[in-house]
């Protein structure tokens, strides 16, 4: 049924992935002593100071950007779809586990891309100005989604066990 607790966990997982549209994954600053942000890494692109446009224009290529956005959309839509297939609990578990796998891949991709952008930005500057990575809310959204999906799988299994025991009694 839709009013079960696993539906709430699936909805929260979907909403936490949707947060990536609004918050940056990471921001990059020159160092602790120099204030300001050189550029921000969002799931859908890079937001940067115009002075660095030559370096960053072709960096986040369209193929990579569209791949990340496609995985992001799947991670956001799949838990929402799983809410409405409550009659088929094994399928719900499969969709939640698939989304967990995609969220883990998304997290790894975000960490790798952040490190790549920081190293490339550091190479652009002189040796004395090293870009530091400041992780923002966007990096924690897939982690929260993983926790919510794990809780939903746990409660779906518990619900399935309850239904099977009730079937035995009848």
In a domain, 65, yes or no: yes
In a domain, 84, yes or no: yes
In this structure, are residues 23 and 138 in contact, taking their beta carbons and an 8 Å threshold? Answer: yes
Q: Helices in 19-127 by DSSP H: which ranges? A: 53-56, 62-83, 89-124
Most confident of 115-124, 143-152, 153-162: 143-152
Residues 6 or more apart whose CB falls under 8 angstroms from that of 60 comprise: 45, 46
In a domain, 77, yes or no: yes
**pLDDT at res. 67:** 83
| CA–CA gap between residue 41 and residue 117 (Å, rounded) | 9
Number of compact structural domains in the chain: 1
Q: What confidence tens digit (pLDDT) does each residue in 34-46 have?
A: 566 677 788 877 7
In this structure, are residues 95 and 156 in contact, taking their beta carbons and an 8 Å threshold? Answer: no
Question: Tokens 């009013």 identify what position?
Answer: 3
The answer, yes or no, to whether residue 151 has pLDDT greater than 90, is: yes
> 105 lies in which domain range?
5-165
The answer, yes or no, to whether residue 73 has pLDDT greater than 70, is: yes
In a domain, 114, yes or no: yes
Quick one: pLDDT band at residue 86, thresholds 50, 70, 90? confident
The answer, yes or no, to whether residue 79 has pLDDT greater than 60, is: yes
In a domain, 170, yes or no: no
| Dihedral sign (CA 85, 87, 91, 95) | positive
């Amino acid at each position: 049924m839709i009013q079960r607790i696993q539906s709430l966990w699936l909805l929260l997982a979907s909403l936490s992935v949707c947060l990536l549209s609004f918050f940056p994954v990471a921001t990059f600053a020159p160092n602790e002593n120099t204030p300001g942000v050189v550029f921000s890494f969002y799931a859908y692109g890079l937001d940067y100071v115009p002075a660095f446009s030559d370096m960053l224009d072709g960096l986040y290529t369209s193929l990579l950007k569209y791949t990340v956005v496609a995985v992001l959309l799947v991670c956001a839509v799949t838990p929402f779809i799983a809410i409405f297939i409550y009659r088929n609990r094994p399928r719900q578990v499969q969709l939640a586990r698939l989304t967990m796998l995609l969220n883990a891949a998304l997290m790894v991709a975000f960490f790798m891309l952040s490190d790549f952008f920081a190293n490339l930005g550091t190479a652009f500057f002189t040796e004395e100005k090293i870009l530091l990575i400041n992780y923002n809310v966007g990096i924690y959204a897939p982690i929260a989604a993983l926790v919510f999906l794990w809780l939903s799988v746990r409660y779906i299994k518990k619900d399935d066990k309850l239904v099977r025991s009730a079937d035995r009694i009848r």
